[in-house]
Structure 1
């Protein structure tokens, strides 16, 4: 192999090499911090000498006039009914994304948090109802069923456990199911008497929203106009208007990036690099936007405004409880307050941990590799932080103002207790059983007798790629690997292992078998490159056509394609990937250590240079 090298002058330095890395608060932590600030400000305001102005301010009326039509609402209603619609809209986008392309599409991974979340809805309500009934507020059980996703993730970021990704994913899945349950409860149990004509209008508008995806242009504006009209119709129908945001979100399409769109964006990038001009710039910007679903684009664009604006404002408008000694004394002896604390703190913890243990014991589901049970228990305790939706339901479920204050005291107290309980469980558990990274190192060393090695067995640099022949990103990564090989020459070797992603790539499994069958005739990498060059044509007839072009014995190829040995080799790679908790392609290991970050040729070359063993001392 020729030792052609890429000049290192053309490789940009890593960002960390250009300037010291500054520490910034994570988005989750910053959002939770702003909500906490809003809560503290509301409490200070409500308990200051000017405390009476707190409620007076939020009860101020604002309005819009259109000719003879006048629409008015209090500032509190603007926050809770209008601005919070955007929060529930983002929740709906997340629910749709998880159900379509996220964690909830994989039954084996999702079954544990789904069952745990359902138990986390039922057990708190069951614990609250007897105590709530003692003050005639048994119907207020909706206050204790929902966790606060923003505060939950912010609390996890604040605690900062080592290797938190698996726990965060588990809690996000839990939160999505929890949100579905909470939204259903609001829609069914906490809406007014239904009005049929506005309800029919809302149904018609939802049908129009569903058809927007087929409009060639201007979809964003149409979603906005129809969304506002749906909000008005839902309000007139007697349903809480924030659910209009959820309805619109669930009707907005979501899809993974399509290969054709990504390739088109790449072509426009090359054209713009060769001839920079406004036309190419506009076309490239439009192409990149269209390669992502509108669900993801809206979520990315709006989430900062909701996380850093709407939610802190909601906290400011709802957490202003007058904490006089009398209120504390009454709350301390109130069954309502203790019912909320019991439901959120004990109910969430018992429901989630108990259901998780039960599902694992029955063998119906398993936790992700590396996720210890004590962390699930800590996450279950943190789920008792029921701030946003709990405070949201308080004025809907309880009419009496004094009881509302007692309920808010219960929500705030439960959130504080849940945070410190979750922190203690995670900290003590991690001390007793220190967490270990999953998939940080290659589970099975490269075996030249078994693996498909491209390059010299004596090479000091090694790339192991877990990939999928139908994955467009694997195809592009192969070009990056080619440049790496040009740079290092005979001092690098490339090893391919299979990780077919069956759901998005229905032909990936058989393509992997075809590569193995070709490998039995010494043509593994030529067959791999033929399939990468024709990713949109991987039917069985296409695979045989490529085998014929490579001069393979077709009878033997046909026999090997479905042979037990070939199936076992592909399955062995799958099992290795499962042990390391790999679930995306391509995934690279550099000299046995998992590569995190970009996989362009420059990044891979830097990673290999850093991992290169020092030469022996003379």
Structure 2
């Protein structure tokens, strides 16, 4: 899901940038007067004597952007139920960072504009434009590892939620009670359809359009309805039954290909995936390549003549927006990242370093789509709107340049989950020897006097580690002269449940039952929610998370030793302190163990 999101957003950045440049060129060309004239063209619908009309800009801002916010609602719903936001440990750091990225920019802006005509624009520098941020990260390339992309995506989702709350509370016009009641009734009808499990698209489209019109007339910005409807869309993980049913249908089609079997296979495969995910797949390209670029084309056309630039250069509104995006976002996100890490409230995905985090904090100052959106809500004076938009353009450009510079100086690290024999190692020369010898703090399975010690850097959610688990059990049962040492190397980005599982294993270790929990977790890899893990701990009569800071420190030491030893993926094995490069099958590992045992015997004879 995250990979698909990255590809769509980053790929659309060039279209968004092109639309922005086109708007600026159009507004500053010899035909500049036609820019505002075109977007103020009225377009409406008539029903008998009733007339409903908006100009083109408002159809884009209030209409099409509702779909953009509907997509955000879908993403929030998915991430809360199945994605990054379901893990409170991974959520804590980007959530606090996003909160800091709201408070500090708003404070910086108000410090320059409190009491003035621009005071209402404090919400302009609080939002991050995900599309532009991911576009910059694509340019940065390998200097921005995937864990940082996941961290910034989670931060952007929380940032969107906070921005929506700000819009709802502080940028809502006068309310029409009758229209608001109508909107509430229509929303209740949609909730009722969902509760009754009636999934007829025409019913939702008609009710949704009526809800949009009622909300627009009520004074509440209609894009908030997009968020609400997106959150209500049903999302679920594929059940075992649906997966098996889809597999059977595909199997039937491959054996007897015909139109009926093809239709049935397509239907069952589609039903295995939630409506939420299917809608995201359909709407994302339209949002990224049509709606958001159209919004930029309709709103980014700022006149940049000498007079406008002269006013902007001394305007506290422009300076406040630039300072809020460039300095406020950087300081707020950096502080918001440091605090939860300092007090052990959460963990970071992957093996990130501060240089990368600071680079991410800097590029998060790219505020465009939602910032322009709030300008339209906060100011009525075209001159003040122009000053704020110039501030957005300048602040976003400077944030991108500062972020790119920081990334240039930062060291990148990352991790992969793949069969070790398929991993293409980076240009750096990785160590071949185990950096930290096996000690009394390690988790050891097997005799203390074993001639062969296998150290495994593993991840409880990694499928390749799961396949290796029974192989290692069989190996130890066959060879009494070998022992296994397990060290944690959770790949936090692609395996969001790996860290909670590792914490649970360490919690069980405090009760003397590490290996029991180790085996349980690998046996139940597909079921690693907090509730699942708590149930496993209760069955073993241990506490899963009795000392989270201590457990995190223990896992961190394993990760540090793994990185120092050259581990870049899971599983990574060391046999008697030397990296193992062979296949992850019983025969290959047994052969390597036998060779290591023979060398140990030879060394023992020579020593005697």
Please give the TM-score of this superposition, normalised by the length of structure 2: 0.73
Partner of residue 331, structure 1: 312
Partner of residue 438, structure 1: 415
Using the alignment, how far apart are the partners of 1:136 and 1:91 within structure 2?
Answer: 32
SS in 1 for 2:143: coil
SS in 1 for 2:571: strand
- CA shift in 2, pair 1:265/1:355, >3 Å: same
- CA shift in 2, pair 1:328/1:573, >3 Å: closer
| Equivalent pair of 1:163/1:437 in contact (CA under 8 Å) | no
Using the alignment, how far apart are the partners of 1:190 and 1:111 within structure 2?
Answer: 28
| RMSD, aligned α-carbons | 4.8
What are the superposed Cα offsets for residues 224-262 of structure 1, whole Å, 9 maximum, x if unpaired? 232212111211211011111001011112222222211
Using the alignment, how far apart are the partners of 1:325 and 1:529 within structure 2?
Answer: 66
Partner of residue 146, structure 2: 165
Question: Mind listing any 5+ residue stretches in structure 2 that lack a counterpart?
Answer: 1-5, 421-433, 475-483, 491-495, 563-568, 575-582, 593-608
Where do 4+ consecutive residues of structure 1 move more than 4 Å? 214-217, 439-447, 449-452, 462-468, 495-505, 527-535, 560-564, 571-582
Number of residue-to-residue matches in the alignment: 521
Q: How does 1:157-556 map onto structure 2 within 5 Å?
A: 157-162=138-143, 164-216=145-197, 218-428=199-409, 430=410, 434-438=411-415
Give the C-alpha shift of residue 192 in structure 1.
1.3
SS in 1 for 2:257: coil
What are the superposed Cα offsets for residues 199-228 of structure 1, whole Å, 9 maximum, x if unpaired? 122222222222333455544333323221
Give the C-alpha shift of residue 407 in structure 1.
1.0
Give the C-alpha shift of residue 364 in structure 1.
2.9
SS in 1 for 2:174: coil
Using the alignment, how far apart are the partners of 2:289 and 2:50 within structure 1?
Answer: 33
Q: In the alignment, is residue 100 of structure 1 matched against residue 81 of structure 2? A: yes
Q: In the alignment, is residue 36 of structure 1 matched against residue 6 of structure 2? A: no
Using the alignment, how far apart are the partners of 1:420 and 1:130 within structure 2?
Answer: 25
Partner of residue 53, structure 1: 34
Partner of residue 589, structure 1: 571
SS in 2 for 1:160: helix
Q: How does 1:10-159 map onto structure 2 within 5 Å?
A: 26-133=7-114, 135-159=116-140
Using the alignment, how far apart are the partners of 2:113 and 2:456 within structure 1?
Answer: 61
Partner of residue 565, structure 2: none
Using the alignment, how far apart are the partners of 1:324 and 1:220 within structure 2?
Answer: 49
Using the alignment, how far apart are the partners of 2:557 and 2:275 within structure 1?
Answer: 31
Using the alignment, how far apart are the partners of 1:165 and 1:116 within structure 2?
Answer: 18
- CA shift in 2, pair 1:279/1:572, >3 Å: farther
Please give the TM-score of this superposition, normalised by the length of structure 1: 0.72
Give the C-alpha shift of residue 588 in structure 1.
5.9
| Equivalent pair of 2:460/2:521 in contact (CA under 8 Å) | no
Using the alignment, how far apart are the partners of 2:144 and 2:59 within structure 1?
Answer: 40
Using the alignment, how far apart are the partners of 1:533 and 1:174 within structure 2?
Answer: 26
What are the superposed Cα offsets for residues 60-80 of structure 1, whole Å, 9 maximum, x if unpaired? 111222333332211111111
Using the alignment, how far apart are the partners of 2:211 and 2:408 within structure 1?
Answer: 47
- CA shift in 2, pair 1:580/1:309, >3 Å: farther
Using the alignment, how far apart are the partners of 2:126 and 2:552 within structure 1?
Answer: 42
- CA shift in 2, pair 1:309/1:345, >3 Å: same
| Equivalent pair of 2:191/2:232 in contact (CA under 8 Å) | yes
- CA shift in 2, pair 1:350/1:206, >3 Å: same
- CA shift in 2, pair 1:573/1:425, >3 Å: closer
Using the alignment, how far apart are the partners of 1:405 and 1:282 within structure 2?
Answer: 54
| Equivalent pair of 1:134/1:335 in contact (CA under 8 Å) | no
| Equivalent pair of 1:29/1:158 in contact (CA under 8 Å) | no
What are the superposed Cα offsets for residues 512-556 of structure 1, whole Å, 9 maximum, x if unpaired? 99xx99x99xxx99x999989999xxx9xxx9xxxxxxxxxxxxx
Using the alignment, how far apart are the partners of 2:212 and 2:164 within structure 1?
Answer: 15
Using the alignment, how far apart are the partners of 2:414 and 2:526 within structure 1?
Answer: 36
Partner of residue 480, structure 2: none
Partner of residue 578, structure 2: none
| Equivalent pair of 1:444/1:576 in contact (CA under 8 Å) | no
Give the C-alpha shift of residue 151 in structure 1.
1.1
- CA shift in 2, pair 1:446/1:218, >3 Å: farther
Partner of residue 5, structure 1: none
What are the superposed Cα offsets for residues 474-494 of structure 1, whole Å, 9 maximum, x if unpaired? 99x869x99xx9xxxxxxxxx
Give the C-alpha shift of residue 422 in structure 1.
0.8
Using the alignment, how far apart are the partners of 2:525 and 2:21 within structure 1?
Answer: 57
Using the alignment, how far apart are the partners of 1:163 and 1:386 within structure 2?
Answer: 20
Using the alignment, how far apart are the partners of 1:95 and 1:220 within structure 2?
Answer: 21
SS in 2 for 1:194: coil
